[in-house]
């Protein structure tokens, strides 16, 4: 199987609030709403954040409804970052714009990377990592 790109589609509760979070807290300045969908291009990934009704219309073909994460959700969006400082900057910004940060970033003894976690306004969990050993 040869994949050209990967697209992840996630439902959101409040598209305007979500847009502000991704544009301001995470600095995805190119993000915009088009026909109820926010498209964010990340290297090797297109993230589609979709109004709940649009997501459900799209996912009906597979018999799925929109569901939102909770503390038991099994989805983590993980990204490698360019520096420890970039991780700290994101984690400082997230709570100011409707997201949450469970704890400060730490150096992982297991991987040797500097790792932080945050959730966006809809509860999607992000892991941001700076691999210290390069």
Q: Are 115 and 105 in contact (CB under 8 A)?
A: yes
Q: Are 76 and 21 in contact (CB under 8 A)?
A: no
What does the pLDDT read at residue 82?
92
Is there a domain that residue 2 lies in? no
What does the pLDDT read at residue 70?
77
Is there a domain that residue 67 lies in? yes
What does the pLDDT read at residue 23?
95
> Which residue has 């932080």 as its token pair?
116
- Per the structure, how many domains does the chain have? 1
Is there a domain that residue 1 lies in? no
Q: CA geometry: angle at 48 spanning 43 and 49, to 5°?
A: 125
Range of the domain at 43: 7-131
What does the pLDDT read at residue 133?
67
> Which residue has 């966006």 as its token pair?
120
Per-residue pLDDT of the chain (134 residues; tens, 9 = 90+): 777 788 899 999 999 999 999 999 999 998 999 999 999 998 888 999 999 999 999 888 888 888 888 777 678 899 999 999 999 999 999 999 999 999 999 998 887 899 999 999 999 999 999 987 65
Structure tokens of 107?
Answer: 């150096």
DSSP secondary structure string, 12-64? ES-HHHHHHIIIIIS--TT--EETTEEEEEETTEEEEEEEHHHHHHHHGGGT-
Burial 58-76 (b: 16+ CB within 10 A, else e): bbeeeeeebeebeeeeeee
What does the pLDDT read at residue 134?
54
Distance set, CA 95 to CA 15, 19, 28 (Å): 18, 15, 16
CATH of the domain at 102: 3.10.180.10
């Amino acid at each position: 199987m040869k994949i050209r790109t990967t697209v992840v589609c996630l439902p959101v509760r409040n598209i305007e609030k979500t847009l502000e979070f991704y544009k301001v807290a995470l600095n995805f300045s190119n993000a915009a709403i088009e026909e109820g969908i926010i498209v964010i291009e990340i290297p090797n990934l297109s993230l589609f954040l979709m109004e709940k009704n649009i997501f459900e219309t799209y996912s009906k073909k597979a018999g799925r409804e929109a569901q939102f994460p909770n503390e038991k959700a099994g989805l983590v969006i993980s990204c490698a970052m360019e520096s420890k400082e970039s991780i700290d900057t994101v984690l400082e910004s997230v709570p100011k714009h409707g997201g949450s940060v469970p704890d400060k970033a730490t150096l992982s003894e297991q991987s040797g990377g500097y790792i932080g976690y945050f959730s966006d306004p809809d509860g999607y969990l992000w892991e941001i990592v700076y691999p210290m050993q390069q």
